Every structure is written in structure tokens, then in C-alpha cells.
Structure 1
């Protein structure tokens, strides 16, 4: 049987429009559905339709509603034509550069919460009144009105269409029907040719048929939930915790529930990806007598990495940073981050260069226990990177307390 590496090499020798490509993807990876679902859009069919309309370049930040299409793109598109970027604004800029170099239109994929990271490049660079650069936006519509979703998505979902309208970006809902989908792509192509401006496609839940990335062999012994439990067990009841968005906060909530510990000690940053460390920083600066711990993920750190410089230069001695690095956007399909390149990329080196007093890396339970003593026992800012495996429990729940309860109880805790 061909190895994953050989399969990737052979795949790139095949013409991207060949139907053999999808067949080989299915045989080698066992991920993409073999049978076309009558109620979902095949990622392969949509990809081919995009190519037929002239879109061959892809960049963006993965989203749970787009994970099947993103998985197909990750497995199919050559590296020079696909970039998983640190944030959504970067992805827009990459499509701008691609257009300037080739005259062609690129695609940016994102969750609608990422629109905020894109407003500046869309309005001050791509807009018709500025540089007149086309880009196709494929937007996962979390918090769609009338569809139950998590609290952090409700306002964003309700206002997504209005935001695009405000920016004078036409948008359509991506249909599951192949014929209707091609008609909308034709409309988008005409828009690009005539207006040379952005065009949006909103993607509802369960639009795409199933396609999964092949599992990567584990490089490290612990999953995030195991490592997180060890970290929390080493903290004092007086330490204030700010946890990042995604699975990490969900696992932290369940750890407290399982151990009947209460939740006043931590603020769960259920939205605002990449900003948990900023929240923790200003708490630390305003509560200098209390140790503050930021629990972060590699994708979140990368999204707004400039925060490391602010933390390092302000240098609060009570700031302690733990980054769980599984090298993936694990909550939304497992697409890799740059932090997965362990031989060429170092979060600890970046933080140290930004002014952190100490940085170090751990990966086992014994190393975490010893590392927590180092982390909490010396003046900050200090960063401990925990290298972990990808994956989480299939039955992982969500917080059962409201965001308002979490905020109020945490504020009372830090004031005490």
C-alpha cells in the first residue's frame, strides 16, 4: 500500500481536473465520501466548479462548517496554491498578491467570526475605490438566524449579511444543488470580470458531504485534555485563569465539573480567538498581587502573535503563559498550523525574543509537573509550551453555565 508521502507526491503529478484525483484521494486516505450524497454538496464537485470558473488559489483559516471542503483542499491543492494563514486578513492579502502576480482571482475561506480580521484589507485595499482587486469569500455561517448555536456566534451570525452589505460586498448562500451552485459561481465570475471586487458565499451547516484528513501518527504522548488536567492540578486556588476559545475551554469546564471544583477561578474566552492572552495581560497588570495564567492554543497564538511582544515588553511579573501546541486547528477539522513544523518553528524562541523572562517546552506528565513549578515559581512573563497530540473525546460537552454567570463569578473572584 502506498504511503501517505508517496500518495501526496503522485497526486501532484495528476492533472487537478482529472476525475482520477478524487478516486485516488478516496483510496489512499479513506476520508472523502465515495458516494455522492443527494442532500449535500461534494467537496470534489465544488472544487472542480471553482477551477472551471477560474479560481485556483486558496487561503484562509479553517472553520467547522467548511471542514470537509478544507480537508479536500488540503489533500488536493499543491502547496504553492494553498496557504492556511495565521488570520483571515493575511488570507485576503495573499489573494491580493496572487491577483497582482497573475491577474487571477483567489478564494479565502473563513468562519464568519473572522470577518472582523478582514475588514481593513477588504475596505482599504481590495475595494473598487482603492485597488479594485477581486476575491471570492467562502464564509462559514455560524449563528445563522433560526439555527441554535453557541452564544459567541449569535450576534455575529445575525449581522453577517448586514456586515457584507455595509462593505458593499454582494453575497449568496451556497446551494447544495450542483446546478444552482454553478449558476452562482457564474454570477461571481461575471462580478469579478465587471467589477473587479470581492464576492461572498455563505455556507450553512451540513452543506458539504464528508471528507476528512487522514490521521497523523502521534508525535507526543499526551492529548490536550490529559495535559490540561495536569496543569490545572498544579495551580493554586488563588490563581486567576483565562482560557482560549475552542476545545480547551470546554475541556477545562468539564475538568472542573468532574472534580466538583467550581468555576469561579477561570474566565472562558469562548469567542475572540487569539485574544485570551491580551485579556490575561490586563488582568495581571491591574491585579499585581494575584498570579494570572493564560491557557492558549498554537492556532490562537499565531492568529495575533504580536501580543507576545506587548506581553514581553510590559513584563508583568505575575503573568504566566501556557501554550498547548498540537500543531493543528483541532476544533474545526484538524488542518495543520505552522506550529506543527517542530524542527523549523519555535513558539518558545519567539516569546523569548519578544521579552519573556523564561520560556521552555514540555511534553510528558512528569515534565509538566516539573515545568509548572518553574512556571509559577519565578517572575514572569514566563511561557511553557506543552507539545501534545491532536484529538479530543467524541462526547466532549459544552459549558452548561451562561457566559454572564462565568463573567460575574470570575470578576467577584479576582476582586476578592
Structure 2
């Protein structure tokens, strides 16, 4: 058995300085230790998959990351681990617990995952090792994990058993409630703009030094077709994870960060709006392009026509939110959002359909990630330091 301080000290020596995850009783000592430690960033995510996306964004912004979750939550994390971290070659240290370990009594819902935890990690290509539960094991375990991540560019997991870490009390200040946000809608009748037209207007208005993360599917493809720049990250796979990635970037990189989201993606991880509202990065603008359909898969309808995304954002703690359905309304809302501290959300109702000549990114995901990371590093060097993570 080790203490949380033992683990965090060795993790700090290895460069790990950003933590995110979803609690498990086995993990309580470590999470309590992180929350109680000055200078360490921790983001409590709404889901394990969101935590993986947040960590990916933090890595792009130069942090070395740790994701903590119960092994039952690996089911939520499989999608981003395989369709975000793997294609982009984004490493993270994954700490997963081993609830339902065979031979150790536990709740019935943990039985299946307890039998397959290590097999599941192997199947999805995440190398793993037992959690280093002695002081002597910590340094070599971190060295092995770092070496493997450096060789592959992929996550590495420690599997933690009950009692590996001694109990640790929580000493963390309460998170203040956000002030009520402001809403400014721009209603108008008439034909809704295309996504390409909205993206063209967006590109005309955003600052040259803005980092832009585009959700998976045709949003990223259209952005690439219109303008490919180092500060653009075209998310492939990991549907719903773009806003979490943007949060990870915004908390750890000075300068404006924009996420171009879609209605289907936002609905898939609606809890991300609550996380963004709670951690309140002032440099984040969330643009939600809502055409009411799953455009990349044949136009099947989403449930977004009945959803007031701007209202949801304000209820979650965003500082500003607007709804619009014209290019002029979008431009006005975007100028508003950029003029005040965020986070801000702009819900843009657009028409279904996409560009007739729609390209695909010709840069590979690892190249996209590395050049985006280099852009953020260059922007920080030119313009100052980083904000402290929440």
C-alpha cells in the first residue's frame, strides 16, 4: 500500500500535472489527493469518455495527463480511446480500478467487467500493468509507462486493486456557483443558411490566433475544404468529444479557443455542457451548428428541433448564449461572444446538406495533432503564459 502523496509525488517527477476522471471508491484517495494538492489540475467529468477527450485537449495544450475511472466506465471510454487517442496518437496515463476482481466479493454489476478488464484493455490496444502499490515500484512503473507511451504515442493503463492506496481525506474548497449568464437571441424568418456558408462567415470573423476544433463528420470536412490551417483540428471519430477536447485546451492554453459542434454530437454528450459551465474557461466559444439531422450517415433526424441549446447552456453555467438562424444573426452573436469573457454558446439553426464538392483532410490525424499542438505552443511563446487549470 502507498499513500496518495507517494503516487502524486512520483507522478510529478514524471511530468504528470493534469488529472481528469469520474470517481470510484477505490480511487477516492487519489482524487482527494489531487483535489487537495495546490498546483495540480483536476476536472471532474460527466462521463469517462468525456474525461478521455478533456485529457486529449490538455495534452494538445502541453500537459501530461492522467485519466481516472472505474473499470465499469471503460465501456464509456472505449470509443474515444479507439477513435480519438489511437488515430491522433495522443497518449494518456489511464488509471482504472478492478472492481469485480474474480474471487473478491463485490456488487453484481461488476462481475462481467471484473472478469474482462485486462482482456478489454488488450483488445482495444491499451497496454497495461498492475498499479504500483509500493514506494519501490513507483519509479520503475512510471518509467515503463512513459517509455511505452513515447514509443507508441498511445495510452497506457495501471489497473488498481482495492486497498492499493491508503485512505486520504478531502480538503478542497467548494466550487463557486457561476453568475447568471446573458442571453441575446437573433431571431429571423426565412431560409436557413448552409453549414458551408456559416463556416465561411465564421472564418471571416475569428481572430487569426484562434484555435479551432471541429467535430467529426462533415463539419470538419467542410472546414478543411474551405481553409486548412495549423490551428484547425479536424476531429475524426469520438462523436461528441469535440467540446471536451476544447475544454481541455481552453483550460490550459492562453488565447481564444473555438469548438464547432453539431446537434447530434452535442446531444450524445450533453453532460459536457455542464462540465464546461462549471469550469468556466473564459476563452472558450462553443458554436453549435444544428441542421436537425445526422448528415454524415444519410440525413436521419435528430431530436434537436425540440431542444433549446442556448437555454441548456445558460442553465449549465455558460456566461453567454444566443440562438440564431441567419448569417447576419450568427455574425452578431459571434461578435457578442468574442467581446465578453466566456464560456459562450451560439446555437445556429442551419439547413441540412453539405457542399457539392466535399473533400476530406489530406493531412493524417497524427500530423493534425502535432501541428495543432505546435500552434498552441507557438501562440503561448508569443503571447504569454498559460492559465492555471481548474
**TM-score by structure 2 length?**
0.49
Structure with the larger RCO, 1 or 2 (CA within 8 Å, 6+ apart): 2
Structure with bigger gyration radius: 1
